[in-house]
Structure 1
Amino acid sequence: MDKYLELKEKFEANRDDENAVKMAAYMRNLFSFYGLPTPKRKAIYKDFLKSEKRKKIIDWDLLDRCYADEHREFHYFVMDYLVAMQKFLKFDDVPHIEKYIKTNQWWDTIDGLDRIVGNIAFTDERINDLMLKWSTDEDFWVRRIAIDHQLCRKERTNTELLEKILVNNFGSSEFFINKAIGWSLRDYSKTNPDWVRNFVETHKDKMDKLSIREASKYL
């Protein structure tokens, strides 16, 4: 059976229309939902993802069809699929992922795709230059990807790159950019508070108050 249609059939069989209204409202009614809570959604395709990992080949045609679907659960599926297949992702796959970054944009999928792109840097350092380029993109969602692509790296954080990317985004009036700057610094402060403290002290005159507040949460 067609993999996309099989997944759609399972989503529809488990839909919760009352919850779908609530989920859509939470996302400002930008997307349609089946109303599937995260644990239930992931359980639906858990075995399928295991099967795909054994194949070691990313089915981009399937992912494109899923991301073109109006229901947000399909977009979440694409992210879960890519996370499951992370070790098979290569630099040449970035254009595929970039399509998803620029389609159906909102914080939930952007914040799911940032590290998927960023983690490719562990096998191909060309990602570093690309993230620096993305940090000045006209699309602020693309810039947010660049800002947060190193989240949770701890000691493996490239601080030189992080600083350049953050500085490139100073002066923005966009909430999602200033929040991301603070979020990336707050996350790294758990690993290296002195570096973050010094960064904020050095750049505080150019940083948005929201960024400073978020960055200083654990300092």
Structure 2
Amino acid sequence: MAHPPWHQDGSRPDGGASPPGGEARILRLVDVEGEVARVLAELRAQGDPVRADYEKRYLKSDLVHFGVPVPALRKVAVSAVEAQPTRDELLALAEALWDVTRDGRPVHEARVAAIEVLVKRVALLEPSDLAVAERFVRGSASWVYVDILAEKVAGALVVRYPDLGRVLDAWVADPYMWIRRTAVLALLAGVRAGNPDLSRVDRFGDALIGEREFFIRKALGWVLRELSKKDPGWVTRWVEPRVEVISGVTLREAVRWLPEEDAGRLRATQRR
């Protein structure tokens, strides 16, 4: 039998007992607008203008930067979802943070905070929420946002809901480079979990092996590198027949953890 709704003090509106377990069940409704304001205020208070200038130059960013170190930024962000929100509250909070602007420009720390809350509570997400990750990636132009979204949000969803791999199949051919990078890096989640999608590593690798974009070449190399830690034989067998067409950037990453005999042979073959 369904329980009636509970007041915030844990009591039942019909005057009945608290739920089983000895403690009152307390509904925690996230005040999205209030949490966004609190997070922004804390981030501004911890900002460093010198660091902000350095970050903007390093990232080649035209966003607003407060200059908050990543560990401090993450701590502030996840505090907004320490009391587990509902899925709807989580999505509303993430999208509100992502959409924050100052003087008409997005705020770097707010966007990172949006990603961090999704990562913290990724278990709440459902297959349709991959569209939120896609929106964020399409609104990005930097690895600093894309890489975490790719592995920790998109990749986590694909591991939990394997049918979403078909979305990655479309993304790997997308005209937007950051979406293609997301398709590749999303495979890292399965690799690190010990359940690599070797079919997609193979197909995506062949689809992208001729890419001129540095960020695609690097992403493919990273996936091969991480896979080589668990299955060096597979990586060696995949790279060897392609060694004359694979980019130097990809090869350097792919062979980094291979046995030296295999790594040396592959490097030497490419240099011929």
C-alpha separation in 2, matches of 1:66 and 1:56:
15
Task: Give identity over the alignment, percent.
Answer: 22
Shift of the alpha carbon at 1:205? Answer: 2.8
Among 175, 187, 193, which residue is 1:138 paired with? 175
Judge conservation of contact 1:58–1:88 (CA < 8 Å) in 2: no
Which runs of 5 or more residues in structure 2 are unaligned?
1-32, 101-105, 259-272
Which AA in structure 2 matches 1:197?
A: T
Q: Normalised by the size of structure 1, how large is the TM-score? A: 0.92
C-alpha separation in 2, matches of 1:43 and 1:84:
11
Judge conservation of contact 1:91–1:126 (CA < 8 Å) in 2: no
Q: Normalised by the size of structure 2, how large is the TM-score? A: 0.75
Which AA in structure 2 matches 1:195?
A: W
In structure 1, the partner of 2:204 is 165
Among 66, 75, 82, which residue is 2:97 paired with? 66
State the aligned residue count: 218
**Partner SS state of residue 80, structure 2:** helix
Shift of the alpha carbon at 1:54? Answer: 4.9
In structure 1, the partner of 2:146 is 110
Shift of the alpha carbon at 1:77? Answer: 0.7
Which AA in structure 1 matches 2:159?
A: F
Which AA in structure 1 matches 2:118?
A: L
After TM superposition, list the pairs within 5 Å mapping 1:187-206 onto structure 2: 187-206=226-245
After TM superposition, list the pairs within 5 Å mapping 1:14-163 onto structure 2: 14-51=46-83, 53-69=84-100, 70-115=106-151, 116-152=153-189, 153-154=191-192, 155-163=194-202
Q: Deviations over 1:148-171 (max 9, x none)?
A: 112153421010111111111121
C-alpha separation in 2, matches of 1:180 and 1:162:
11
Which AA in structure 1 matches 2:201?
A: L
Structure 1 range deviating more: 25-34 or 189-198: 25-34
C-alpha separation in 1, matches of 2:149 and 2:77:
19
Q: Deviations over 1:10-54 (max 9, x none)?
A: 212222112111111111133221111112212223432212x25
Structure 1 range deviating more: 64-73 or 187-196: 64-73
In structure 2, the partner of 1:10 is 42
Greater Rg, structure 1 or structure 2?
Answer: 2
Higher relative contact order (CA 8 A, sep 6+): 1
Shift of the alpha carbon at 1:121? Answer: 2.0
